[in-house]
Amino acid sequence: MSKNTIRAQSGISFLIGALTVPGFAPFYFFPIPLFTLALLCHFWRRSVTPFRAALLGFSFGMGMFGAGVTWIYVSLHDFGGMPMAAAVVALIVLCAYLALFPAAAGWVLKKLSIASPWVWVLAAGALWGLSDWLRSVLFTGFPWLTLGYSQAPDSPLAGFAPVIGVYGVSMILVWSSALVCLLLEREFRKKNYVISLLAIWIAGFGLQHVRWTEPQGEPVTVSLLQGNISQDLKWRADQLVSSLARYATLTRESNSRLIITPEISIPLPRDEVPSSYLSQLAAHARQNDGDILVGMLEVLTSAGGKEYYNSMFSFGASPDQRYRKHHLVPFGEFIPLKFLFGWVTNVFPMSDFSRGGLDQQPMNIAGQKVAVNICYEDVFGEEIIQQLPQATLLANVSNDAWFGRSIGPRQHLQISQMRALETGRYMLRATNTGLTAIINERGVVLQEAEVFTTTALHGLAQGYTGATPYIRFGNSLLLGLAGIILLISLLPVFSGGRKNL
C-alpha cells in the first residue's frame, strides 16, 4: 500500500470520525455511526499491518473527538480564562489521548489475524466496547462520546441499554457496522449477514417494549429551578444578594412537593448561608407537604485543615438530608499528581474538593427515594446504580453554564437519557442555564425548559421500582461477554502454537 493511499485513508478516517458526531445530540441522527463505523471497519480489514490499523483508528478518533468535545475549549478559554493558544493545545492533547482507544482497538483487531468473518465481527464489537469502558475508568475516566450514547433514546439498539448498559450498546452497534462492512465486500454478500443484522435490530426493538420496572404509587409534582446566573457573575460578592433572591422567588412560586435547585445554586458554604433564608425555603416546602433540594458548598474543619464538598441538602417535611459529590472532575474539583500541581490549592483553595462516599443512600424526600448525582457524575452509570434498586427517582443537578451555547449541554442531556434507559427510572435535571428537563423511564424528554432563561420547570414525575439487568449486574455482562469473545478469537493462536510444538 503506497504512502499516498495511507494518507488518503487516514484523511478519510478523520473525516468520517467527524461525521459520526451528528449521530449524537443535539442532532440525534442515530443511523450515522452505523455507516461511518462500517467504513472504518472496511479500512481496518484492508490495512496491511497492526500499526496501520491503529493509525486509522487514531485518525477516526481525532476526527470524532475533535468535532465532538469542542465545548471544552469554551470552558477553558471563555470561562476559565486560559489563553487561546493554551486552550487549543490542551484540547488537541485531550483528543489525542482519547483517540488512543479506537487506535488500540484497531491494533489488537489486526494483530489477532482472525480468519473467520463471524469471529472478526464479534471481536470488532468486543474490542470497541472494552475500549469505551476502559476510557471510563483510566485516570478517573472520560467516557464522553461513548458510541452507545448515539443510540439513545430512539434507536432500536437502545433496547439493549437496560440489559447491558451503554458500553454494551457500543459493542452491539459495532457488530452491526462490521456486518454492514462485510455486506459491502463482494466476497461476503451472503444472506446470513443480512439476517444477522436484522436479528440484532429486531431484538433491540423487541427489548424496547419490555417493562423491566413498574410504577410505584402516584406521580409526584416537581419543580426544577433554573436560575440562569451567568458563570462570570456567579461567584461575585456583589451578585450574592441577587442570586439568593432569585432562588427564593422561584421557590415561592413553586407549589410542587419536590423542588430541586441546580448544583451550588447558592455560592456560599452551608454554614455561611443565613439561617433565616434556609428556614424560609424549608417552611415553603413544608407548606407543600414536600421538600426542597438546595445545592451548596460544605466546609468541614479538622486538625488536617479544611475539607470542601460539593453537596446537595434537603429541607422540608422530611428530616434534613445531604448528598456529597463522589466523582470529581480532574483539575476542576480535585488536583491529580499533587506532587506536581499541589501549589494550585494555595492559590485556589476550593479547587481541591473532598469526595463523598460511593455508598451514599437515596434521599427519602417528598414521598420518594431520590438518587442524587451532581453534574459529571451521571456519566458513570455503574456508580449511579449504587443507589439502586432502592431509589424510585434519579436527579441530576448541574451547572452547564461552563459550556456556553456549545453542543456540550445537549450531549450531557443525552447522557442523562441513557441513565434513565439503563435504570428504568425517571431522571430529573435541574441546571443553572439549561438543559433543565424531565426524562421518563424510556429516556424520552417529556418537558424541557428554554435555555438561558430564568424559570422553573413544573411537571409530574412517576416513581418506579424494580431492577433492570443492568442494575443487577452493571458492566459485568459486557466485560464477561467481551472476554469470552476475545478468548474465542485467540483459540486459533493457541491451536497453532500446539501444532508447532
Choose, from 95, 110, 181, 263, the residue flagged as catalytic.
263
Among the listed ranges 89-98, 160-169, 228-237, 376-385, which one has the minimum average pLDDT value? 228-237
Cell 417528598 belongs to residue: 366
Q: Assess whether 110 carries a catalytic annotation.
A: no
Q: How confident is the model at residue 346 (pLDDT cuts 50, 70, 90)?
A: very low
Average pLDDT over residues 401-430: 95
363, β-bridge pairs:
370
Task: Report yes or no: 95 and 47 within 8 Å, Cβ to Cβ.
Answer: no
CA distances 46 to 181, 182, 301, 326, 434, Å, are 11, 12, 61, 45, 45
Whether residue 115 is predicted with pLDDT greater than 90 in this model: the reply is no
Q: Please state the domain extents for the chain.
A: 3-211+474-500, 214-296+312-324+358-467
Please list, in sequence order, all residues whose beta carbon lies within 8 angstroms of the beta carbon of residue 51, skipping any fewer than 6 positions away.
107
Q: Assess whether 375 carries a catalytic annotation.
A: yes
Choose, from 110, 234, 325, 369, the residue flagged as catalytic.
325
Q: What is the pLDDT of residues 214-261, one digit of tens each?
A: 999 999 999 999 999 988 788 888 889 999 999 999 999 999 999 999
User: Is the bond leading into 19 cis (omega within 30 degrees of zero)?
Assistant: no
Task: Report yes or no: 441 and 215 within 8 Å, Cβ to Cβ.
Answer: no
Task: Report yes or no: 436 and 405 within 8 Å, Cβ to Cβ.
Answer: no
Show the DSSP H helices in 262-400 as ranges: 275-287, 338-341, 344-347, 381-384
Question: What CATH architecture is 214-296+312-324+358-467?
Answer: 4-Layer Sandwich (3.60)
Rounded CA Rg of the chain:
24
Q: Assess whether 41 carries a catalytic annotation.
A: no
Cell 495511507 belongs to residue: 6
Among the listed ranges 5-9, 47-51, 268-272, 352-356, which one has the minimum average pLDDT value? 5-9
Give the chain's mean pLDDT: 91
Calculated CA dihedral for residues 182, 186, 191, 192, nearest 10 degrees? -40
Q: Residue 307 CB: number of other CB atoms within 10 A?
A: 14
Calculated CA dihedral for residues 343, 346, 348, 349, nearest 10 degrees? 120
pTM of the model: 0.93
Whether residue 348 is predicted with pLDDT greater than 50 in this model: the reply is no
Q: What is the pLDDT of residues 437-484, one digit of tens each?
A: 999 999 999 999 999 999 999 999 999 999 999 999 999 999 999 999
Choose, from 375, 377, 422, 441, the residue flagged as catalytic.
375
Whether residue 395 is predicted with pLDDT greater than 60 in this model: the reply is yes
For residues 189 and 263, which has the higher predicted lDDT (pLDDT)?
Answer: 263
> What are the DSSP E strand ranges found in 35-171?
none
